[in-house]
Amino acid sequence: MRRALWKGAISFGLINIPVELFTAEKNDELDFTLLDKRDLSPVGYRRYNKKSGREVVWDDIIKGYEYEDGKFVLLSDEDLRQANVESTQSIDIQNFVEVEQVPIQYYEQPYYLAPLKGGEKAYALLRETLIASGKMAIAQIVIRTRQHLAALLPQGELLNLVTLRYPAELRPPDDLELPQRGMKKSGVSKQEVEMARTLVEHMSSAWKPDDFHDQYRDDVLALIRKKIKTRQTHVMAEPEDAPAPSAGSSGKVIDLMALLKRSLNPGEAKARSGSAGKKGGGEQADAEAATGKAATNVHSLAGAAKRAVKRREASPAKSAAGTGKTKKAPSKTTRTKTATAAKSARKPVAAKRAQA
């Protein structure tokens, strides 16, 4: 059961209908993580104390009204409710109007209204009355800390509440350059209008909202899947203060591609994981093994390079001990010549010893 956003009552005349309010909007936007393109570190929005710079948890946040510079009146949610209990707990119907009388630009956000226990009959009465009259109710409701203008409209068994914009929230179109009304003034001929009407009739059909979907979102997801398939993925940078892996760690790197595939296609991922034991793990296991092996090789090369640097730094220090100077480490060519000379010098000595 979804959680109600608001609970109260619809009131008009002497009728009081206990109801609860549910949001009717679903945010289906693609969720992108903001990254610093220089090192792929996440860039996030956070609540922080502007004085100390420290993050603040929700439990430590309270509303404050600044009545003078730097001086605040603190207000809790209960304070805001107690300021006007009736306004915060009622949908107060002001009047009833024809649906066509409210221009579309006034409509803002839809909600669903459901009756609370004991309010079913009164809820049905208001719904049936609106259907029979062909009108909608204009009301006011306080949601959170703002009073909204709203319209109540029936739809099947449901009562919809749609918040409306106040006139002050709308800009007048006076500064727009628009063609005048009328065919003569706008330069449109009667034949053009008839052809356009024929096209409209040809394209007309019953309203079927399920026939429409967000094609742009589907195309972006298809592009994401293509990049995943061609391994055009990037590993997010670790925080600078992250502890270094211990010597006993396996060096395994998280396979972001596999995680994204499971997130985008949960059903397909389950089927693949079920057959993984029969086929020896499949492509995902091979990818993880290859990634882990590559990561291990990188760690090994990095360790070897560090040890080589330490040996080069330590070598001149040892040879210069007691002199107070640092001698330059011999080159590879010099070391080869020295070893050859030493070997040649040992040959006569070995021959004399054999004769003796």
- Top pLDDT among 14 and 103 is at 103
Which alpha helices (H) appear in the chain, and where do they start and end?
77-83, 85-88, 120-133, 183-186, 190-203, 215-229, 256-264, 266-276, 282-319, 332-355
- Top pLDDT among 31 and 62 is at 62
Query: In the numeric block, which tokens belong to residue 87?
Result: 């306004």
* Lowest-confidence region among 41-50, 206-215, 300-309: 300-309
Query: What is the torsional sign of CA 91, 95, 96, 98?
Result: negative
- How, if at all, do strands 35-36 and 41-42 pair? antiparallel
Give the pTM: 0.53
Say if CB 150 and CB 166 are below 8 A apart.
Answer: no
- Packing angle, helices 266-276 and 282-319, rounded to 10: 80
Measured between its terminal Cα atoms, the distance across the chain in Å is 105
Q: From CA 178, how far away is CA 186, in angstroms rounded?
A: 9
Helix then strand count (H, E) for the chain reads 10, 11
pLDDT tens-digit readout, 101-155 = 999 999 999 999 999 998 999 999 999 999 999 999 999 998 877 889 999 999 9
- Top pLDDT among 136 and 311 is at 136
Residue 128: per-residue pLDDT: 95
For residue 223, pLDDT over 60 is answered with yes
Q: From CA 103, how far away is CA 172, in angstroms rounded?
A: 13
For residue 259, pLDDT over 50 is answered with no
Mean pLDDT of the chain: 73
pLDDT above 90: percentage of residues in the chain: 19
CATH architecture of the domain formed by 6-42+63-167: Beta Barrel (2.40)
Residue 113: per-residue pLDDT: 95
Say if CB 149 and CB 163 are below 8 A apart.
Answer: yes
| Mean pLDDT on 335-340 | 53
- Top pLDDT among 222 and 280 is at 222
Q: What is the largest CA-CA distance in the chain?
A: 133
Residue 352: per-residue pLDDT: 46
Say if CB 7 and CB 20 are below 8 A apart.
Answer: yes
* Lowest-confidence region among 24-33, 47-56, 169-178, 182-191: 24-33
Query: What is the torsional sign of CA 109, 115, 119, 122?
Result: positive
- Residues contacting 106, CB < 8 A, separation 6+: 164, 165, 170
- Residues contacting 260, CB < 8 A, separation 6+: 224, 228, 233
Tell me the sheet residues that pair with 150: 139, 163
| Mean pLDDT on 261-288 | 51
Q: Confidence band (pLDDT; 50, 70, 90) for 311?
A: low
Residue 165: per-residue pLDDT: 93
For residue 249, pLDDT over 50 is answered with no
* Lowest-confidence region among 114-128, 173-187, 227-241, 273-287: 273-287
Q: Give the residue extent of every domain in the chain.
A: 6-42+63-167, 213-238+251-319
